[in-house]
């Protein structure tokens, strides 16, 4: 494996995370830059820099023929897709397999079976895993969607077959909603994933989003690396995640059941990489298979923090058929608790993306903090890409300790020049229900922490901003 050349076909913090793992394992990390990223920070960690020409995602990060050409031109042995973009694109993984290029992800059949939500549900069902009622296969039309909705009962969720990360999905509470949203969700699916097909499923009220990390190799070993709770979401996108789940808590029987069910799902498709089986859990702790993400996920660090398993490095090792860092399921244990805050360039109250240019960045963190990010002063956040710019992760012996650390860390995270959701995170971390671990995916909608974000800063805050400019002027650094 040493010396193999791996192209990272992604950007931002995940490209940095992958490059770090490649470098550490003795592989050659090859990063890309496109025409609308003038100073991509991820290249700092890449050993080689390659130009992927074009100025929109269709021309660059989603352009399979162009990427295949790069692979030929730069004698690439393997590709890490990160998350988003082509990470769960069957066409891409098949094209790589055909060329004999190692795809750092699961085999194309597993991508095919689990990457598309319509087929994955069927696979799970056949493996004896409980699934949320809904359409089998894609729903071609509004009429068909309404028909299924009437069968399973409202509310229902319209979802992109190829989707993930909350993009391309919308709840519908009646026929009117379906008529209004169907084509919008299709468009979102097409622009985000290059594939417009939709499916329909039952929308469970007050649910918990609990997912299980899977790590598998090419020898047929499938391990679970315990669960994560990702119920703090806005617009179906996670903003705070923690591991282990406070909702499962000390209920080891449920923990064992959900983890073993996840392994069963992964085995059903001969899974051979890092992946995540997502479940929706009702208040009765019954859980249903939602989907399997056949990629490394944004929130993987909290699992790494509580288990000590380097998921990205082991994913790379699995792809090159190298032995993993551990020998058996019993080697993987939970030590403590981890919480992750997604730091996004967005308005803390409306939670809508707010692109802009970072003009200042400083950090002061306590012990036990990990910050995976791509932030630097003068970094421009454009509307071309996801507004997530970093992940602040705290680890502690208990949930209370992790909470204490993350609360202190977020005070020490100073980003100036753009709106961020940092003020919202502070409100959530100070909120009673969150502190007690009592929350479902309806948290943002019902508790409404966004309403408690202080609307304005005092004049002293402006003095400090002026002081920040004057000090640079004084030192002639402009």
Partner 1 sequence: MRYYFLNQDMKEFSLDVELRSTNVMDFYHEGQRSNIFIRSLAGKKFYSFDGIKWKKLVALGVNEVLVSHSEVYKVYRGFKPSGLNKGGAGALITQMPGKIVKLIKKEGDKVSKGETVLILEAMKMENEIKSGVDGVIKAINVKEGVALEAGFLMVEISENS
Beta strands, E only, 217-296: 222-234, 237-243, 274-281, 287-293
Residue 383 near partner 1 by CB under 8 A: no
In the set 295, 342, 370, 399, the catalytic residue is 295
Residue 390 near partner 1 by CB under 8 A: no
Spell out, one character per residue from 397 to 416, where the chain touches partner 1: x when CB under 8 A holds, - when not: ---------------x-x-x
Q: What are phi and psi of 166, to 5 degrees?
A: 80, -5
Q: Please select the residue that binds partner 1; options are 277, 418, 428, 447, rule is CB under 8 A.
A: 418
Tokens 């929308």 identify what position? Answer: 203
Residue 352 near partner 1 by CB under 8 A: no
Residue 438 near partner 1 by CB under 8 A: no
Q: Please select the residue that binds partner 1; options are 336, 349, 355, 366, rule is CB under 8 A.
A: 349
Residue 448 near partner 1 by CB under 8 A: no
Strand 156-164 to strand 198-202: parallel, antiparallel, or no bridges (unpaired)?
Answer: antiparallel
Are the C-beta atoms of 389 and 373 separated by less than 8 Å?
yes
Judged by CB under 8 A, the stretch of 43-51, 80-88, 94-102, 467-475 that binds partner 1 is 467-475
Among 103, 39, 92, CA closest to 68: 92
Tell me whether residue 295 is one of the annotated catalytic residues. Answer: yes
Among 36, 39, 8, CA closest to 22: 8
Q: How far is the CB of 108 from partner 1 (least distance, A)?
A: 45
Residue 340 to residue 370: CA distance in whole angstroms:
9
Spell out, one character per residue from 308 to 347, where the chain touches partner 1: x when CB under 8 A holds, - when not: ---------------------------------------x
Residue 469 near partner 1 by CB under 8 A: yes
- Closer residue to partner 1 in complex, CB, 2/456: 456
Q: Please select the residue that binds partner 1; options are 151, 283, 362, 430, rule is CB under 8 A.
A: 362
Bridge partners of 393, per DSSP, are 340, 370
Residue 55 near partner 1 by CB under 8 A: no
- Per DSSP, 323 falls in state P
Residue 466 near partner 1 by CB under 8 A: yes
- Closer residue to partner 1 in complex, CB, 44/362: 362
**Phi-psi map region of 340: left, alpha, beta (phi>0 left; psi -120 to 50 alpha):** beta
Residues 6+ apart with CB under 8 A from 245: 208, 210, 227, 228, 229, 255
Among 28, 11, 13, CA closest to 320: 28
Which residue numbers are catalytic? 295
Residues near partner 1 (CB under 8 A): 347-349, 356-357, 359-362, 364, 412, 414, 416-419, 423, 453-457, 459-474, 477-478
């Amino acid at each position: 494996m040493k010396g193999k050349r791996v192209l990272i076909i992604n950007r931002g913090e995940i490209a940095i995370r992958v490059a770090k793992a490649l470098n550490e394992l003795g592989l050659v990390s090859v990063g890309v830059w496109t025409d609308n990223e003038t100073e991509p920070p991820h290249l700092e960690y890449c050993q080689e820099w390659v130009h992927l020409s074009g100025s929109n995602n269709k021309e660059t990060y989603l352009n399979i023929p162009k990427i295949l050409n790069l692979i030929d031109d730069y004698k690439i042995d393997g590709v890490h897709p990160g998350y988003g973009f082509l990470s769960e694109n069957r066409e891409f993984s098949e094209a790589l397999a055909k060329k004999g290029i190692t795809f750092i992800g699961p085999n194309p059949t597993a991508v095919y079976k689990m990457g598309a939500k319509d087929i994955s549900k069927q696979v799970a069902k056949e493996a004896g895993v409980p699934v949320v009622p809904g359409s089998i296969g894609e729903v071609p039309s509004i009429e068909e969607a309404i028909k299924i909705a009437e069968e399973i009962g409202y509310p229902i969720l319209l979802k992109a077959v190829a989707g993930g990360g909350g993009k391309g999905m919308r709840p519908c509470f009646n026929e009117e909603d379906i008529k209004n949203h169907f084509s919008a969700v299709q468009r979102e699916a097409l622009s985000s994933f290059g594939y417009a097909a939709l499916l329909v499923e039952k929308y469970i009220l007050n649910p918990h989003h609990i997912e299980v990390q899977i790590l598998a190799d090419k020898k047929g070993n499938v391990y679970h690396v315990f669960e994560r709770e990702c119920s703090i979401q806005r617009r179906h996108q996670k903003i705070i995640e923690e591991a282990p789940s406070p909702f499962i808590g000390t209920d080891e029987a449920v923990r064992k059941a959900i983890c073993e069910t996840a392994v069963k799902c992964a085995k059903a498709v001969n899974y051979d990489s890092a992946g995540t089986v997502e479940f929706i859990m009702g208040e009765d702790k019954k859980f249903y298979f939602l989907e399997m993400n056949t990629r490394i996920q944004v929130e993987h660090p909290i699992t790494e923090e509580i288990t000590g398993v380097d998921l990205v490095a082991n994913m790379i090792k699995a792809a090159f058929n190298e032995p993993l860092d551990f020998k058996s399921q019993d080697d993987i244990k939970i030590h403590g608790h981890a919480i992750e805050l997604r730091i996004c360039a967005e308005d803390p109250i409306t939670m809508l993306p707010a692109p802009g240019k970072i003009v200042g960045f400083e950090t002061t963190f306590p012990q036990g903090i990990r910050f995976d990010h791509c932030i630097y002063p003068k970094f421009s956040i454009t509307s071309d890409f996801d507004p997530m710019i970093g992940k602040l992760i705290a680890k502690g012996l208990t949930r209370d300790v992790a909470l204490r650390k993350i609360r202190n860390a977020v005070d020490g995270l100073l980003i100036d020049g753009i709106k961020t959701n940092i003020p919202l995170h502070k409100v959530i971390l100070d909120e009673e229900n969150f502190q007690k671990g009592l929350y479902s995916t309806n948290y943002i909608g019902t508790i409404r922490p966004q309403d408690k974000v202080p609307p304005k800063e005092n004049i002293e805050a402006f003095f400090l901003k002026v002081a920040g400019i004057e000090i640079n002027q004084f030192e002639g650094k402009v």
